[in-house]
Amino acid sequence: MMSSFSSQHVIEVQKATIYQEDKPVLSNVNFDVEKGEFVFLIGRTGGGKSSLLKTLYADLPFREGYMNVAGYLIKGLKKQQVPMLRRKLGIIFQDFQLFPDRTVSENLIFVMQATGWKEKSKMKARLTEVLMRVGLGSAQSKMPHQLSGGEQQRVVIARALLNEPVALLADEPTGNLDPVVSDEIFKLFLEINNSGTAILMATHDHQLVKAHPLRTLKCENGRVEELKEMESF
């Protein structure tokens, strides 16, 4: 197992310092995420969860330490390489909404065009596929405002799945949803995870983390620590 260690990881972080506007928010960060693993990332607001995720998808500059995401070395990553890295990841982010001026299928087709898809028939097939997967097979021609919050979040997840990412990075994906809907969305994440996509989910939803005994990382006092026992949360 040790020999194939690094090929098993979709995210590898060693001795990393995470900055936010020239201020280090997390230091000496060490963790890995394996292929197909589900990992919670918890901690207070402002504790550096979002900054860590942003650094992982190369939105914040990474200066100190080692970070390998989906086979890309984040330190010194060339600007032209950033889009290629992001195509390997599915980013689910509160500020990253659907375009309100076009339908669900136009939203998804647009993303496919932006990421280099050319053939129309393939795009249509993939569109139907991801929408079926998130349970929204009939929502193609709807405008985002005609969908409920939970349905919109499903479309956002469908969008993240378009390019068959090796990992989903989700920042508070259930933040704005009521408990019942948020539970459904979470189940969807579990399903996606079961089919082999690694998921790193930042959340402060205590109930959710308590109810699902999964691997949990906690950002606290400028450190990222593995949480062994749920009681200490």
Partner 1 sequence: MASVKKSRKRKLGSYPSFSVVASMFLALFVLGLFALFLLLSKNLSTAIQESIQVQVYLEKDISESQRIQIEKTLSSSEFVLQKERSVVLITKDSAAEKFIAETGEDFYEFLGDNPLRDVYIVNIAPDYQTDEKMAIVQKEVESISGVYEMDYVKNMLSSINTNITKISLALIGFAIILLIAVIVLINNTIKLALFSQRFLIRSMQLVGAKAGFIRKPFLYRAFFHGMLAGAIASVFLYSIINYGMSIIPGIDILLNIEIIAILFGSLLCVGAIVGFFGTFMAIRKYLKMSLDELY
How far is 69 from 72, CA to CA, in rounded Å?
A: 5
- Minimal distance, residue 94 CB to partner 1, in Å: 10
Rounded to the nearest whole angstrom, what is the least distance from the CB of residue 19 to partner 1 in the complex?
11
Q: What is the CA radius of gyration of the chain?
A: 18
The Cα–Cα gap between 25 and 184 comes to 33
Question: Which amino acid is residue 47, in one-letter code?
Answer: G
Which CB, 66 or 110, lies closer to partner 1? 110
Q: Using CA atoms, how far apart are residues 197 and 18, in angstroms rounded to an integer? A: 25
For partner 1, the closer CB: 32 or 59: 59
Residue 90 CB, nearest approach to partner 1 (Å): 9
Q: Is 100 or 213 the residue whose CB approaches partner 1 more closely?
A: 100
CA distances from 56 to 17, 71, 116, 177 (A): 12, 12, 22, 25
Q: How far is the CB of 225 from partner 1 (least distance, A)?
A: 25
Residue closer to partner 1, measured from CB, 156 or 217: 156
Are 220 and 44 within 8 A, CB to CB?
Answer: yes
Interacting residue ranges for partner 1, rule: CB under 8 A: 20-21, 54, 57, 59-60, 79-80, 82-87, 91, 93, 95-97, 99-101, 111, 113-115, 141-143, 146, 159, 162-163
CB of 83 to partner 1, least distance (A): 4
In terms of CB distance, is 143 or 227 closer to partner 1? 143
Euclidean distance between CA atoms 36 and 18, whole angstroms? 25
- Which residues neighbour 15 within 8 Å (Cβ) at sequence distance 6 or greater? 28, 29, 30, 64, 65, 66
